[in-house]
Amino acid sequence: MLWLDLGNTRLKYWLTDDIGQIVDHDAKQHLQAPAELLMGLTDRFERYAPDFIGISSVLGEALNIKVTETLSRLNIPFEFVHVDAAHPLMRSDYNDQQLGCDRWLQMLGAVDKKKRQCVIGCGTAVTIDLIDHATHLGGYIFPSIYLQRESLFSGTKQITISNGAFDSVGQGMTTQDAVHRGILLSIVGAINEISHRHPNFEVIMTGGDAAIIAQHVNRPVRLRDDLLLNGLARYFDHSKQT
């Protein structure tokens, strides 16, 4: 199988064998040209001769059409995920026309009907979702630390910071530190507040920036890099059974 995750910044792919083991995996910036990036990867994909391609995309109709055109040339059946708010593994009252499918799949990949869970996706946006015994209770969306820095850079005259490390939440004494620490605290502080309000929820984090953020959270955090893949596998298993 070939599994694709088209996020706002990166294209992730996984090739898995018959027993679900990952035989190849990578994440690449697509620069809003995912179809062209996929074109360059087709040789690699064809080498493994996958019999199915399952796709999560939050890139919108126009880019999905281009991706569809590229994938059609492979002559391998493929299917885009559609959010199912009444899925047997997890119920959700969130507006299902709006819920991002990567966000939903991450939850589907993590959900455990015996637990209360807080699933945090740290990609281009940071999403924080609460799940109570397999019922999605809703969540929050924040700009990532990088998007926040870009918005300060572009919306102010005297803040000209465009790079540097996000490594502390202590107060800063320079613009550079104040910007990075303030932004990091906005996410870490929100996570701490949400986990304070929901003390019995297991905190699970995934996505490109999960490790940077998790270090400063004052609760035990489970870092998982397999949630979206797991969600894709669960979704397509189910649709084959019905």
Ligand X SMILES: CC(C)(COP(=O)(O)O)[C@@H](O)C(=O)NCCC(=O)O
Ligand Y SMILES: Nc1ncnc2c1ncn2[C@@H]1O[C@H](COP(=O)(O)OP(=O)(O)O)[C@@H](O)[C@H]1O
Q: How far apart are the C-alpha atoms of 131 and 89, rounded to whole Å?
A: 11
Tell me which of 102, 132, 226, 237 is the catalytic residue.
Answer: 102
Q: Which is nearer to ligand Y, 84 or 209 (CB)?
A: 209
Of 44-63, binders to ligand X (CB under 6 A) are: 58
- Regarding 87 and contact with ligand X (CB under 6 A), the answer is no
| Residue 124 in contact with ligand Y, rule: CB under 6 A | yes
9 binds ligand Y (CB under 6 A): yes
Q: Look up residue 143 and give its two tokens.
A: 């700009």
CB of 1 to ligand Y, least distance (A): 20
- Cα separation, 150 vs 148, in Å, equals 5
By the rule CB under 6 A, 10 interacts with ligand Y: yes
Cα-to-chain-centroid distance, residue 225: 10
Which burial class, exposed, middle or buried, applies to 204 when counting CB atoms under 10 A from its CB (0-12, 13-18, 19+)? Answer: buried
Catalytic residue flag (residue 102): yes
Tokens (6 digits) for 169: 């939440």
* 139 known member of a binding site: no
**Binders of ligand Y in range 135-194 (CB under 6 A):** 144, 146
CB 10, CB 30: distance < 8 Å: yes
Q: Binding partner of residue 10 among ligand Y, ligand X, none, CB under 5 to 8 Å per kind?
A: ligand Y
36 contacts: CB under 8 Å, gap ≥ 6: none
Instruction: Tell me which residues in 126-145 interact with ligand X (CB under 6 A).
Output: 127, 141
Q: Active-site residues: which are they?
A: 102
